[in-house]
Amino acid sequence: TIDGDRLWRSLMDLAEIGAYDDERTGLRGVNRLALTDADAAGRRRVIAWMEQAGLAVRVDRMGNIYGRREGTDPTAAPVLTGSHIDSVATAGAFDGCLGVLGGIEVVRTLNDRGITTRRPIEVGVFTEEEGVRFGTDMLGSAVAAGRLTLEYAHGLTDRDGRTLGGELARTGFDGPADVRLAPPYAYVECHIEQGPVLAENGVEVGVVTGVQGISWQEITIHGRAAHAGTTPTHLRADAGLAAAQLTVHLRAMVDSGAYGDLRATVGHLVVHPDLTNIVPARAELTVDLRNPDDAQMARAEEALAAFLRDLEGSRPGLSSTTRRMAKTGYVPFDEGVQKVIAQAADDHGLAHVSLLSGAGHDAQEIAALCPTAMIFVRGEYDGISHNPREYSTPEACAHGVDVLATTLLRLADQ
């Protein structure tokens, strides 16, 4: 078993980088958007810990960081673990960090016990997993796996127009290593569940069977600015109202049950000119759809497009444009790796359930390169995440990383 206290101290230390105090709730949150100064400081801390643990560190052209512990067989492909340390703007201490710091904790434990594995073990830290700064999630791992190109990723811009390529250079994380990852032997990622399933089942650890599909689109609705006091209702082309109708319609689609197990979220919304007495001329919003069934997802996307077409027809002066931000289908994980994880949990005497991931993860990208699966750790408060309230107990974190350690050891000796 790993050192749960040492793991917890690392988690709490890292959470101070980019920490903020939420006035309303009195909670302490984390705001460490990818490639900001806070993220860069967090990366330097992680690299320092990797080097203290004896790992050989390399940074690739996407800013992905890999720390390598050699095995006895120099020709064997490594077993990779890892996750990300970038966060959303209202985050907790665990999302992503548990996988990175858990990987480092496994290495520390192997060092303490003087254990050498046959295969090398590598710990990866992937860039912009959250996708909230540059608009595409799992970006670093998607480029490492070859699904997206380096040029696409470097050219993405944040809301202030700064490019990802420029921010890599500014923070000093435009590394020299080749971004295309040589296929590892296997990839295992430990992550908080970010949902209620493990708590509902009364277990601390989950074996993840795959990741549901994710569709992100940015929709801009164009209407016509007009005076709020004088413009008769029938003459309005209200872009803000249209955005509201779309938001309400998406929830109705979810509630109808007609699109399988659909989830829909409008997380970003701005109106222009955004003034009290002006009918909005423009609204920009994002639509985040999730579905475990690719066919149902396609139907939901088509229904959204149809709603937008109808909206244009409904009112002269309304039109819309749609930009694709991110799209991934359902990704099933490797059954063999799932079995190793389940066996490891059994060995530690930990009850476990198998479940599908609601969130996207770097594992779904690396799964294109090698057999992959994930270990989930239970969260408190219905597993709330992307919120300062996000919390997993020290015990649950330690148990998850115990299972990770045993799983990595087994795979690294295959």
Ligand X SMILES: NC(=O)NCCC(=O)O
- Which residues bind to ligand X, rule: CB under 6 A? 95, 129-131, 137, 214, 227-229, 277, 359-361
* Bridge partner residues of 357 (DSSP): 211
67 vs 358, beta carbon nearer ligand X: 358
Q: Which of the choices its own copies, ligand X, none does residue 354 contact, using the CB cut-off of 5 to 8 A by kind? A: none
172 vs 273, beta carbon nearer its own copies: 273
Q: Which of the choices ligand X, its own copies, none does residue 12 contact, using the CB cut-off of 5 to 8 A by kind? A: none
Side chain identity at 336, as an amino acid letter?
G
| DSSP-based three-state secondary structure for 260 | coil
236 vs 361, beta carbon nearer ligand X: 361
Report d(CA 407, CA 344) in Å as an integer: 6
Report d(CA 375, CA 65) in Å as an integer: 21
Selected binder of its own copies within 19, 47, 150, 266 (CB under 8 A) = 266
DSSP 24: T
C-alpha distance across the termini of the chain, in Å? 20
Selected binder of its own copies within 267, 295, 302, 335 (CB under 8 A) = 267
Q: Which of the choices ligand X, its own copies, none does residue 252 contact, using the CB cut-off of 5 to 8 A by kind? A: none
Q: Which of the choices ligand X, its own copies, none does residue 129 contact, using the CB cut-off of 5 to 8 A by kind? A: ligand X
Selected binder of its own copies within 111, 201, 286, 354 (CB under 8 A) = 286
| DSSP-based three-state secondary structure for 137 | coil
Positions 224 through 253 that interact with its own copies (CB under 8 A): 224-233, 235, 238, 240-241, 243-245, 247-248, 251
Q: Whole-number minimum distance, CB 290 to ligand X, in Å?
A: 8
26 vs 229, beta carbon nearer ligand X: 229
Selected binder of its own copies within 4, 54, 90, 353 (CB under 8 A) = 90
User: What residues contact residue 82 under an 8 Å CB cut-off, 6+ apart?
Assistant: 66, 99, 100, 103, 122, 123, 124, 125, 126, 189, 362
Per-residue b/e over 16-28, b at no fewer than 16 CB within 10 Å? ebbebeeeeeebe
Selected binder of its own copies within 6, 58, 268, 299 (CB under 8 A) = 268
Q: Whole-number minimum distance, CB 288 to ligand X, in Å?
A: 7
For 348-391, where are the alpha helices, taking DSSP H only? 362-366
User: What residues contact residue 101 under an 8 Å CB cut-off, 6+ apart?
Assistant: 7, 10, 11, 14, 46, 49
Report d(CA 404, CA 345) in Å as an integer: 9
Task: For residue 125, give the nearest of 16, 252, 222, 34 by alpha carbon.
Answer: 34
The angle, 0 to 180 degrees and rounded to 10, between the axes of the packed helices 97-113 and 4-15 is 140
Selected binder of its own copies within 35, 325, 345, 373 (CB under 8 A) = 325
Positions 142 through 181 that interact with its own copies (CB under 8 A): none
Report d(CA 267, CA 272) in Å as an integer: 17
55 vs 221, beta carbon nearer its own copies: 221
Task: Point out which span in 49-57, 128-136, 345-353, 396-404 binds its own copies (CB under 8 A).
Answer: 128-136
The angle, 0 to 180 degrees and rounded to 10, between the axes of the packed helices 394-412 and 335-347 is 120
69 vs 282, beta carbon nearer its own copies: 282
Let me know: does 186 contact 81? Beta carbons within 8 Å.
Answer: no
78 vs 99, beta carbon nearer ligand X: 99
Judged by the rule CB under 8 A, the positions of this chain that interact with its own copies are: 24, 88-90, 130-132, 135, 137, 193-196, 212, 214, 216, 222, 224-233, 235, 238, 240-241, 243-245, 247-248, 251, 254-255, 263, 265-271, 273-281, 286, 288, 290, 325, 357-360, 382-387
